[in-house]
Amino acid sequence: MAVAHYFPDRLRPVRSTDSAVIDCAGARVSAYVRGPATVLVVEGEIDICNAEQLVAAIRRLTGLDAPFVLDLRAVDFMAVSGFRELLQFAADCDSAHVGWHVVAGEALRPLLRVFADHHLPVVGSTGRAASSG
């Protein structure tokens, strides 16, 4: 049985038997180990007020040293500022040669259409992404 631990401003490494949750002023990031990858589930709203904080939380949870999946299906709203932070994060992951994927939700899809040259590694489900490393 998995046990969720809530850490408002500090984290410990995510192990296969537990999860970590970070509150980001209107959005929440939860980390779970799924096979060879960590799955980060983001829920809530991403806007100019919390975009930097959210990406900082994602960086802390991933460490940019192992494959991971960023599941954005539970995001209700994503402002352009949040998308811009996501693109910078993607560039950092590419520079560090980190294997990762994004599972897009309804809030992200319009931005993906408008900014078609985004180069984000978008996939359709967490299962496929977690198993591909």
Q: Please write the tens of the pLDDT for every residue from 57-82.
A: 999 888 767 789 999 999 999 999 99
Domain 18-132, CATH homologous superfamily name and number: STAS domain (3.30.750.24)
The pLDDT score that the predictor gives to residue 4 is 45
Residue 44 has pLDDT above 80, yes or no: yes
Residue 14: CB atoms within 10 Å: 20
Residue 2 has pLDDT above 60, yes or no: no
With a CB cutoff of 8 Å and minimum separation 6, the contacts of 104 are 72, 73, 112, 122
The pLDDT score that the predictor gives to residue 42 is 96
C-alpha span between 16 and 87 (Å, rounded): 28
Q: What is the mean pLDDT of the chain?
A: 81
Per-residue burial over 98-128, b = 16 or more CB atoms within 10 Å of its CB, e = otherwise: bebbbbbbebbeebeeeeeebebbbbeebee
